[in-house]
A and B are shown apart, each in its own frame.
Chain A
Amino acid sequence: MKFKLLAQSVLFGAGLLMVGLTPAQSQTREESQGMVLLRGLPTLDTDHSIAIVELDPESDQFGELLSEVEQPDIQHPLHHLYYSPNGRLYSTGLDPSCSLAEIGLSRDSSGTPVIEGFTCLDTQGQIVGEDIMWATSNGQEYMFVTFMGGTGGDDGGSVGVFDTQTNEVVKIIEARKSQVGEGEPYIMYPHGISAFDDRMVVTSTIHPDMTTGVGNVLTIIDLNTLEPIQNIVVENEKPLDFPSSPVEVLFARPDMHADIEPAILANTMFGFETWKIPYDADSKTFGEAEVIYSGVANETAVPLEFYGTEDELFISHGLPGVVKRYELAALPELVSSGPDIVADPGAHHMIFFTSASGRDLIAVQNNLLNLGNAADDDPTDVDFIADLNAHTITIHDLETGERIAEVNFKERYNKGVDNVEGLFGSGFVHHH
């Protein structure tokens, strides 16, 4: 495993979705269909696309693309899908011409969902869109988007605040390390995002070109003023000799489960660790940052996503490609709730659903990398990336973790699979 190379060429995505099906969603039995972002593979001469895939192994259509819209004109693919609380579908994007998009969905007269296309939104120069969440500032809800490239430069990075109705930029939250005073809070290469009450947290991950710089802090943003107020360093072990590169965060909080004491959890992509930063809601202060999971000790690397069901928290680890599971009620401590779900290298995003016969399932998208290798323009023929790019979605029994089936997108469609989201928003209720 060549971690150095890996570190220089990886950009990931991720959305921390809290999943909890309310009756409002159980209305639909389309939950076994996944909305996926597929990556065209240049050597295989395919285009990027947005597609709907059937993921219930019990279905005759298992693995079939039920609808697909290709994006031949966009060099870099769309990145992460998110449903707004009102059911609108958005995607962040890696191409400067489309860093954020709204995807049009409808149904035809047989009830079949149809992807109608997508509209790239004006981000006012913010590039490399990563995660999206909807949160409230002074009683008004906004769409917050992390842009890892921000408005450009060596220490760029911004959090774009958008009007939820018109998709217009309301504010760009920026604080360059090179421009704020010594010791003042900065925002750099933000990726993960989460919030509780009037505090938002974003990570400082890595410069989009993968070489200019790597971050090692979290930035706290005051949602009243929409200004950064604090940095918290999350760095300890350096197995790759790189800054820790915190990637995804989850502000564990009581509305996820009444027993939860609020705290930030953060995964560090190159530190391989999960961190906990306790939060005192009365004094609005954060406690000592502490490592609560070590990848080095546990032989896992590249921890990525947090996803929650009603009673469990799931964390994906790109290597060796596992999803670890914990008691939701025990958060912010990580108390195991069962054996690892063994997916494929690159284990990343996931969705939860039931099969036609009512079996609870988890589908894991196994593909770490969202950017191609610039040198030969093909993300698939490079060893170290191939190690983290199974190009599969594996389907497992949720209770036992047993692997039931897989869809190999490279074999079947000559494409990679970069993201999966439930067709009807498995992340509708609790995003991040």
Chain B
Amino acid sequence: MLRVFLTAAVAVVIAATAWVFWDRARGPTATPIAGFSAPFVFGRFAVPPDNPLTQEAFALGRHLFYDPSLSGNNQVSCATCHMQALAFTDGLAKSPALSGGELEFSSMSLINLLWGQERFFWDGRATSLEAQALMPIQHPDEMDQDLDALITELQASRDYRRMFRKAYGEVSAENVARALSTFMRMLISSDSKYDRFLRGEVRLTAQEEHGRKLFMAHPDTKVSLRGGNCIDCHSQFLTSGFRDALDGFSNNGLDSDDDLPDGLMAVTGNPAHKGFFKVPTLRNIAVTAPYMHDGRFETLEEVMDHYNDGIVVSDTLSPLILEADNAPEAGQGTVGLRMTPDEVQSIIAFLNTLTDEGFLTNTQFSNPFEGDG
């Protein structure tokens, strides 16, 4: 009896060892994301051919995203400034800098990054997510981590070695970027009330519907069409900026020529791009206050006040904004949409339909080091 047991035990040990070797020797397993489906109306997207969406890359990316050991002081993770419950923003006007003080810009929400502009950051300085992902890690005021040191650290972890092997093969900075990108690409929000409305599953209230119409219309007094012209920049379904060329960047009238920040011009060197910023998605906008690249507005009411009569004229102000006026005959003291308070409230009601509770609480996107991970 004992012999039988021992033989069995030896067999198990041999099998286990063999499996471990085999598992190590074998290349990455690229399991397609199960049940992936994205709304057709979001339009075309392209995933880099050398970084397809796979379960393994997603799992690795999710761990990296939430892991403070990616930072020099092992205290800051991507999730420090990109929190799921706040649609991956941090609720601050400007994120705190490691060296004290604050960063130049407000944290951006990470939603539906498969679509919209193919440039990242407020000023568009990163041309791919892969290029973007390593920037905050090395940024002295964000995560302040040396990449070589990071790779050594990750290599020391058996879990990471395994996850990297399954996803890509080796542990490398390039693969860190790839995995983080895959995780971020999978942050798809498509189940807000607005989405369900688009699919015909629910109705909007009269006020929300009124707001939706205003959002989608460029005002035209000649044919008595009232509108908020939001769609001119925040596209119809994604509510983010357009993909083509640099169409997804513009100046929405926040500052005068005297204080206009460089924005996109810092990247392109083109003076016509001064003060241009990335048109952000408005999905989950109700939970991402404060607003704009510098977090200057606390509430959506303040944002609407800005578009309604607080537009600051500058040389590069978008003509789409300058032209959009529902009451051009009214006093010319201000520049803006000149909508009624009711109309403004309706647009805000519509913006509130963009909140996707399922996305904000989706356990697949949550911290894998906590709870059911």
Binding site for B on A (CB under 8 A): 22-24, 26-30, 86-88, 105-111, 113, 164-167, 254-255, 258, 424
Within 8 Å by CB of B40, from A23, A110, A113, lies A113
Chain B interface residue count, CB cutoff 8 Å, equals 37
Q: Do A28 and B44 touch (CB < 8 A)?
A: yes
Assuming the A-B contacts A23-B247, A24-B236, are A30 and B43 also in contact, with contact meaning beta carbons closer than 8 angstroms in the complex? yes
Residue of B nearest to A88 (CB): B200
Binding site for A on B (CB under 8 A): 32-33, 36-47, 52-53, 114-115, 197-203, 222-223, 231-232, 235-238, 242-244, 247
Q: A105: which B residues are within 8 A, CB to CB?
A: 40
Give the distance in Å from the alpha carbon of A22 to the alpha carbon of B232 in the complex: 9
Q: Do A26 and B244 touch (CB < 8 A)?
A: yes
Q: Do A167 and B47 touch (CB < 8 A)?
A: no
Q: A167: which B residues are within 8 A, CB to CB?
A: 200
Q: Do A87 and B40 touch (CB < 8 A)?
A: yes
Q: Do A106 and B40 touch (CB < 8 A)?
A: yes
Q: B41: which A residues are within 8 A, CB to CB?
A: 86-87
Assuming the A-B contacts A27-B235, A27-B243, are A109 and B44 also in contact, with contact meaning beta carbons closer than 8 angstroms in the complex? no
Q: Do B200 and A110 touch (CB < 8 A)?
A: no
Give the distance in Å from the alpha carbon of A149 to the alpha carbon of B200 in the complex: 27
Assuming the A-B contacts A23-B247, A107-B38, are A255 and B44 also in contact, with contact meaning beta carbons closer than 8 angstroms in the complex? no
6 nearest interchain CB pairs?
Answer: A87-B41, A105-B40, A109-B36, A28-B43, A111-B45, A24-B236
Q: Do B44 and A166 touch (CB < 8 A)?
A: no
Q: A424: which B residues are within 8 A, CB to CB?
A: 43
Assuming the A-B contacts A24-B235, A26-B242, A255-B223, are A107 and B200 also in contact, with contact meaning beta carbons closer than 8 angstroms in the complex? no
Q: B199: which A residues are within 8 A, CB to CB?
A: 88
Assuming the A-B contacts A24-B231, A424-B43, are A108 and B197 also in contact, with contact meaning beta carbons closer than 8 angstroms in the complex? no
Within 8 Å by CB of A109, from B53, B197, B202, B235, lies B53
Min CB–CB distance B157 → chain A (angstroms): 28
Q: A165: which B residues are within 8 A, CB to CB?
A: 197, 200-203
Within 8 Å by CB of A110, from B42, B43, B47, B238, lies B47
Q: Which of A87, A88, A113 counts the most B-chain CB atoms under 10 A from its CB?
A: A87
Residue of A nearest to B45 (CB): A111
Within 8 Å by CB of A106, from B38, B43, B222, lies B38
Min CB–CB distance A100 → chain B (angstroms): 14
Give the distance in Å from the alpha carbon of A27 to the alpha carbon of B116 in the complex: 8
Give the distance in Å from the alpha carbon of A105 to the alpha carbon of B114 in the complex: 18
Give the distance in Å from the alpha carbon of A370 to the alpha carbon of B48 in the complex: 42
Q: A254: which B residues are within 8 A, CB to CB?
A: 222-223
20 further A-B pairs in the complex, CB-CB below 8 A; given A27-B235, A109-B33 = A23-B242, A23-B247, A24-B235, A27-B242, A27-B243, A28-B43, A29-B44, A30-B44, A86-B200, A87-B40, A88-B199, A106-B39, A107-B37, A107-B40, A111-B44, A111-B47, A113-B40, A165-B197, A166-B200, A167-B200
Give the distance in Å from the alpha carbon of A26 to the alpha carbon of B247 in the complex: 10
Assuming the A-B contacts A29-B44, A165-B197, A255-B223, are A87 and B237 also in contact, with contact meaning beta carbons closer than 8 angstroms in the complex? yes
Q: B235: which A residues are within 8 A, CB to CB?
A: 23-24, 27
Q: Do A87 and B198 touch (CB < 8 A)?
A: yes
Q: B52: which A residues are within 8 A, CB to CB?
A: 109-110
Q: Do A109 and B247 touch (CB < 8 A)?
A: no
Give the distance in Å from the alpha carbon of A57 to the alpha carbon of B243 in the complex: 23
Residue of A nearest to B232 (CB): A23
Q: A86: which B residues are within 8 A, CB to CB?
A: 41, 197-198, 200
Give the distance in Å from the alpha carbon of A28 to the alpha carbon of B118 in the complex: 12
Q: A166: which B residues are within 8 A, CB to CB?
A: 200
Q: B200: which A residues are within 8 A, CB to CB?
A: 86, 88, 164-167
Give the distance in Å from the alpha carbon of A24 to the alpha carbon of B40 in the complex: 14
Binding site secondary structure of chain B: loop
Within 8 Å by CB of A258, from B43, B222, B243, lies B222
Q: B33: which A residues are within 8 A, CB to CB?
A: 109
Min CB–CB distance A110 → chain B (angstroms): 6
Residue of B nearest to A115 (CB): B40
Within 8 Å by CB of B47, from A23, A26, A109, A164, lies A109
Q: Which of B33, B52, B235 counts the most A-chain CB atoms under 10 A from its CB?
A: B235
Give the distance in Å from the alpha carbon of A107 to the alpha carbon of B198 in the complex: 16
Min CB–CB distance B12 → chain A (angstroms): 38
Q: A255: which B residues are within 8 A, CB to CB?
A: 223
Q: B202: which A residues are within 8 A, CB to CB?
A: 165
Q: Do A109 and B32 touch (CB < 8 A)?
A: yes
Give the distance in Å from the alpha carbon of A133 to the alpha carbon of B224 in the complex: 22
Residue of A nearest to B225 (CB): A255
Within 8 Å by CB of B45, from A22, A24, A106, A107, lies A107
Min CB–CB distance B212 → chain A (angstroms): 10
Q: B45: which A residues are within 8 A, CB to CB?
A: 107, 111
Q: A110: which B residues are within 8 A, CB to CB?
A: 47, 52-53
Give the distance in Å from the alpha carbon of A359 to the alpha carbon of B237 in the complex: 27
Residue of A nearest to B244 (CB): A26
Q: A107: which B residues are within 8 A, CB to CB?
A: 37-40, 42, 45
Residue of B nearest to A106 (CB): B37
Min CB–CB distance A426 → chain B (angstroms): 14
Give the distance in Å from the alpha carbon of A86 to the alpha carbon of B202 in the complex: 13
Give the distance in Å from the alpha carbon of A110 to the alpha carbon of B185 in the complex: 12
Give the distance in Å from the alpha carbon of A255 to the alpha carbon of B222 in the complex: 10
Within 8 Å by CB of B36, from A26, A29, A108, lies A108
Q: A109: which B residues are within 8 A, CB to CB?
A: 32-33, 36, 47, 52-53
Q: Which of B37, B38, B41, B45 counts the most A-chain CB atoms under 10 A from its CB?
A: B41
Give the distance in Å from the alpha carbon of A27 to the alpha carbon of B235 in the complex: 8
Q: B201: which A residues are within 8 A, CB to CB?
A: 165
Give the distance in Å from the alpha carbon of A110 to the alpha carbon of B115 in the complex: 12
Residue of B nearest to A102 (CB): B200
Q: Which of A22, A86, A166 counts the most B-chain CB atoms under 10 A from its CB?
A: A86
User: Could you list some 20 contacts between A and B, CB below 8 A?
Assistant: A22-B231, A23-B242, A23-B247, A24-B236, A26-B242, A28-B44, A86-B197, A86-B198, A87-B40, A87-B198, A106-B37, A107-B38, A107-B39, A107-B40, A109-B36, A109-B47, A111-B47, A165-B201, A254-B223, A424-B43
Give the distance in Å from the alpha carbon of A343 to the alpha carbon of B198 in the complex: 37
Give the distance in Å from the alpha carbon of A258 to the alpha carbon of B199 in the complex: 33
Give the distance in Å from the alpha carbon of A24 to the alpha carbon of B243 in the complex: 10
Min CB–CB distance B119 → chain A (angstroms): 14
Residue of B nearest to A164 (CB): B200
Q: A26: which B residues are within 8 A, CB to CB?
A: 242, 244, 247
Q: B40: which A residues are within 8 A, CB to CB?
A: 87, 105-107, 113
Q: B115: which A residues are within 8 A, CB to CB?
A: 27
Residue of A nearest to B185 (CB): A109
Give the distance in Å from the alpha carbon of A110 to the alpha carbon of B32 in the complex: 10
Give the distance in Å from the alpha carbon of A331 to the alpha carbon of B52 in the complex: 50
Q: B197: which A residues are within 8 A, CB to CB?
A: 86, 165
Q: Which of B40, B222, B237, B243 counts the most A-chain CB atoms under 10 A from its CB?
A: B40
Residue of A nearest to B204 (CB): A165
Give the distance in Å from the alpha carbon of A255 to the alpha carbon of B197 in the complex: 27
Q: B47: which A residues are within 8 A, CB to CB?
A: 109-111
Give the distance in Å from the alpha carbon of A424 to the alpha carbon of B44 in the complex: 9
